Amino acid sequence: MADHPLTDVRGVGPRTADGLAALGIDSIETLAAAPSELIATLPGFSLNRAEAVKTAARGLLRADLGADRAATKKANKADKKKNKNRKKK
């Protein structure tokens, strides 16, 4: 999976990323798994905003997983084609 900075998550800017890091949330994976109540302790955050940021983090993780699966499928297809061509020789 791609390694994204927290600021790639919609709703997380540099100051929010610093605040999250102070709470021990230093990756998109930990953000997606963190309790909303903890995230809501950041200045300017409500429980709704915390949940929205977590949802955005999960969406980014799903997009990365989908891209990884597509790349694996494409590589497997290329390997099969290469192996098929070797057998013909």
Residue 48 lies in a domain: yes
Nearest to 5 by CA among 33, 30, 35, 26: 26
In the chain, how many domains are there? 1
16 with 42: CB under 8 angstroms? yes
Cα separation, 26 vs 48, in Å, equals 21
Return phi, psi of residue 77, to 5°: -65, -40
Predicted pLDDT of residue 74 = 53
Whether 86 has a pLDDT exceeding 60, the answer reads yes
Residues 73, 8, 60: CA angle, nearest 5 degrees: 40
Position of tokens 């791609």?
2
pLDDT tens track for 18-70? 999 999 999 999 999 999 999 999 999 999 999 999 999 999 998 866 554 55
Q: With a cut of 80, say whether residue 83 has pLDDT above it.
A: no
Using the predicted structure, report yes or no on whether residue 1 has a pLDDT greater than 50: no
Q: Which domain holds residue 23?
A: 6-88
Amino acid 77: pLDDT: 59
Nearest to 34 by CA among 67, 56, 64: 56
Asked whether residue 56 is assigned to any structural domain, the reply reads: yes
- The enclosing domain of 47 has a CATH number of 1.10.150.20
Domain-located, residue 1: no
